[in-house]
Structure 1
Amino acid sequence: MPTRLYPAAPSRLATYADCPRRYRMGYLDQPTPPRGGAWAHHTVGAAVHVALARWWELPLPRRTPAAGGELVVTGWSSEGFRDERQSREHRDRARGYVERYLATVDPAVLPLGVERTVSVRTERASLWGRADRIDDRPGEGVVVVDYKTGRSVLTVDDARESLALAVYAAGAARTLRREVTRVELHHLPTGTVVGWDHTPASIDEHLSGADAQAAAMATLDAAFRAGMTPDEADAAFPPLVAPRCGWCEFRSTCGPGRSVPAHRPWDGLA
């Protein structure tokens, strides 16, 4: 029988690369250790992504920037914010930058996909993910778009080095049966767009790296599920202590991670 492909979204691979201990806690441990509370910046990102997806479901006459802002408001949650005042402040801020962004989008030109799940296979892995938007632009061809709402300033390197965007491009090419090499990050708070034009070779490089990582993770996952002592599991999935531990949802149950000061739930707001 052929070896079963290892199913993985780019986020799963990225979690393991960032910290094997966090990966084990989130994907393998049963029961899953307690997670921390909600992060305000995740709340913002979720509301904005849902609004931008649902905007395309509106009838064309209602597909206005103001309608996009209203979708942010109706889908808003106050989870993770310090108080209602801070929540309202960032709700109104998100509403404003969604409206400014949609003013640059032609509502009559439907994307090829919105929140579309695509997948691609390598020798040992089945990689999949959900692209925020897939455009078909005259003179440019198919373009994969990923929305960002965080406080980090994005660069071309972020688009070029993103495994997720490379997987989306390869998966879209497989699904649409068209060449897809252009990927873009759209940072809504600043209105910045950074993009990268991949080549087939650069996408293959991303997929080859993901394939090798997936194969190693498949071996570790199987060994863990077959049975490891606590000491063996700790050795196989070591913590990578770093400043990012302050953001980890498992920090409270990770001894090494607790050595890094915790961030407040609203510290990641743009």
Structure 2
Amino acid sequence: MPRKLIKVTPSRVATWLDCPRRYRMAYVDRPTPPRGGAFAHSTLGAVVHNALRAFFDLPVRRRTPEAAHALVGQHWKDDGFAGPGQAATYRELAAGWVADYVGEIDVTDDPIGLERWVSAPIGSIVAEGRVDRIDERDGELVIVDYKTGRSALTTDDARASQALALYVLAARRTLRRPCTRVELHHLPSGTVAAWEHTEESLTRHRTRAEEAAEEFTLATDTLNAGGDQDVLFPPRVGRQCSWCDFRRSCPEGQAAGPAAEPWALLARADEVADEVKG
């Protein structure tokens, strides 16, 4: 019998590599253990993504910085922030980032995809996921990923991103067009980190994803056959335990350090400005 292909999303692979126990709780355990509350940086990222999607859904004549600014307010949520005052500060910061961003790019071209789901068999896996934006430039697809984290990003970040590489592989099979370029658009700093993949670099990313898929599939199958969950899905402790969704269900994670405040990972405007100047 032909071997069944394993469905792989970037988040699934990243979770396995980050912490096998967290992978088990997120993807294997049923019912899923209770998750922690919302984090402000996640709320902020979701708002910016939703506002930009809505922006590019507008007719071209209405794609103005003022419209982008207003869309952040329309999509805003206060989840995870310290209070209304902090939430209002970041609402205005985010609105300014988005307005400045659309003011610097060509908004007259309609993207090929917005929050587009792509999926395609690649080797021993089915690579799939939701891409923030897919542009077409000079007959080739470009994968665009929005970022709102604390630090500006580099070419090395774009080159090393397995998520972007998997999106390239899936998008060019799904949409049947050439695709090698990936871009990380960091809105707080207004910078773009880009990389042109080669077939060799894409193969390396695909191979690592295949290896991870084989590992978590074997661990899951062995668990279902009666294996020890703590041996098959050990915790991998570190500073990430401070903001793990499943911290309350993981004694090792709790012992690794204190829980982070829900707003601890927010990008601060002064930090971003200093980093760009440096």
**Contact 1:26-1:32 within 8 A present in 2 as well:** yes
CA distance in 1, matches of 2:142, 2:236: 35
Q: Show the counterpart of 2:262.
A: 265
**Contact 1:124-1:215 within 8 A present in 2 as well:** no
Give the alignment of 1:19-98 within 5 angstroms. Answer: 19-98=19-98
SS at match of 1:116: strand
| Higher mean C-alpha displacement, 171-180 vs 188-197 | 171-180
Amino acid corresponding to residue 54 of structure 1 in structure 2: A
Amino acid corresponding to residue 240 of structure 1 in structure 2: R
Give the alignment of 1:192-207 within 5 angstroms. Answer: 192-207=191-206
SS at match of 1:266: coil
CA RMSD of aligned residues (A): 1.3
Q: TM-score, normalised by structure 2?
A: 0.92
CA distance in 2, matches of 1:128, 1:141: 19
Moved over 6 A (4+): none
CA distance in 2, matches of 1:31, 1:151: 34
SS at match of 2:109: coil
SS at match of 1:72: helix
The runs of 5 or more residues in structure 1 that have no matched partner are: none
| Higher mean C-alpha displacement, 38-47 vs 215-224 | 215-224
Q: TM-score, normalised by structure 1?
A: 0.95
Amino acid corresponding to residue 261 of structure 1 in structure 2: P
CA distance in 2, matches of 1:87, 1:142: 36
- Quote the offset at 1:22 in angstroms: 0.7
Q: Show the counterpart of 1:104.
A: 104
Give CA deviations for 1:97-147 in whole Å, capped at 9, x if unaligned.
100000022222111111111123233211101111111123x83211100
- Quote the offset at 1:179 in angstroms: 1.7
Q: Show the counterpart of 1:210.
A: 209
Give CA deviations for 1:172-197 in whole Å, capped at 9, x if unaligned.
11122222111010000000100111
Give the alignment of 1:164-175 within 5 angstroms. Answer: 164-175=163-174
Give the alignment of 1:131-170 within 5 angstroms. Answer: 131-138=131-138, 141-170=140-169
The runs of 5 or more residues in structure 2 that have no matched partner are: 268-278
Give CA deviations for 1:78-108 in whole Å, capped at 9, x if unaligned.
0000000000000000000100000022222
Q: Show the counterpart of 1:252.
A: 248
Q: Show the counterpart of 2:229.
A: 233
CA distance in 1, matches of 2:104, 2:171: 24
Alignment size in residue pairs:
266
**Contact 1:122-1:211 within 8 A present in 2 as well:** no
CA distance in 2, matches of 1:200, 1:150: 29
Amino acid corresponding to residue 267 of structure 1 in structure 2: A
